[in-house]
């Protein structure tokens, strides 16, 4: 009986290991969804392929979002000349006037989109919690998803690695 239990446990461990190995090799592609920026221009996430991209879902009423925004700005400014793009997606419940005021008063240097229908959040895995940030590689694949404020030192290391990829 013990031998059967050990064999079953070994088979389960092997199956879990194999699933993990194959899962690591496959990444989810970011959704091909369009968005409207504060200036009224329409863009699409597929247009950002070839660049490393941070997609940050946030709200003006989110304390953590407001707290992390200066570091998001610093991250963008540090890497934008090397190919980092950034889209800050305001949640559907955030009044557009608040988003516009926030972006202007804090001089946000990156793209700010308003997800007025909630479609962008739905297509990115039904984002409900803010902040939620996705890091995309140059192929438009989701490399990392952060719920809450990221560890910015680790985020910068990962951005460096992705920017170095060809």
Residue 145 belongs to domain with CATH number: 3.40.30.10
What value does the mean pLDDT take over residues 126-150? 97
Q: What is the pLDDT of residue 166?
A: 83
Q: Which of 1-15, 18-32, 37-51 has the lowest mean pLDDT?
A: 1-15
On whether residue 53 sits in a domain, the answer given is: yes
On whether residue 15 sits in a domain, the answer given is: no
Q: What is the pLDDT of residue 112?
A: 98
Indicate whether 118 pLDDT > 70: yes
Q: How far is CA 161 from CA 79, 136, 155, in A?
A: 12, 12, 10
Q: What is the pLDDT of residue 3?
A: 56
Q: Which domain holds residue 132?
A: 29-164
Q: What is the pLDDT of residue 18?
A: 38
**17-34 in b/e burial notation, b at 16+ Cβ within 10 A?**
eeeeeeeeeeeeebbeee
On whether residue 17 sits in a domain, the answer given is: no
How do residues 68-100 score in pLDDT, each as one tens digit? 999 999 999 999 999 999 999 999 999 999 999
- Are the C-beta atoms of 121 and 115 separated by less than 8 Å? yes
**Both tokens assigned to 9:** 């446990």
Indicate whether 4 pLDDT > 80: no
CA 85-78-28 angle, to 5 degrees, is 35
- Are the C-beta atoms of 118 and 109 separated by less than 8 Å? no
Which among 37, 86, 89, 92 is positioned nearest to 65, based on CA atoms?
A: 89
Residues of the chain above pLDDT 90, percent? 83
Q: Specify the length of the chain in residues.
A: 166
**Both tokens assigned to 112:** 């700010």
Q: How many domains does the chain have?
A: 1
What one-character-per-residue DSSP string does 46-60 give? GGGTTSEEEEEEE-T
On whether residue 100 sits in a domain, the answer given is: yes
**Both tokens assigned to 61:** 């009423």
Whether the predicted model's global pTM rises above the 0.85 cut: no
On whether residue 145 sits in a domain, the answer given is: yes
């Amino acid at each position: 009986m013990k031998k059967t239990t050990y064999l079953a446990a070994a088979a389960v461990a092997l199956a879990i290991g194999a699933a993990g190995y194959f899962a690591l090799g496959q990444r989810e592609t970011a959704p091909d969804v369009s968005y409207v920026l504060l200036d009224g221009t329409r863009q699409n996430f597929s247009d950002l392929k070839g660049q490393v991209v941070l997609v940050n879902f946030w709200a003006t009423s989110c304390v953590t979002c407001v707290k992390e925004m200066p570091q998001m700005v610093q991250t963008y400014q540090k890497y934008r000349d090397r190919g980092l793009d950034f889209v800050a997606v305001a949640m559907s419940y955030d009044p557009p006037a608040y988003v516009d005021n926030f972006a202007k008063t804090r001089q946000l240097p990156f793209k700010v989109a308003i997800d007025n229908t909630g479609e962008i959040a739905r297509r990115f895995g039904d984002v409900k919690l803010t902040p939620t940030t996705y890091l995309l590689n140059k192929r438009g694949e989701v490399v990392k998803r952060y719920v809450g404020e990221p560890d910015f030192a680790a985020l910068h290391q990962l951005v460096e690695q992705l920017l170095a990829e060809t």
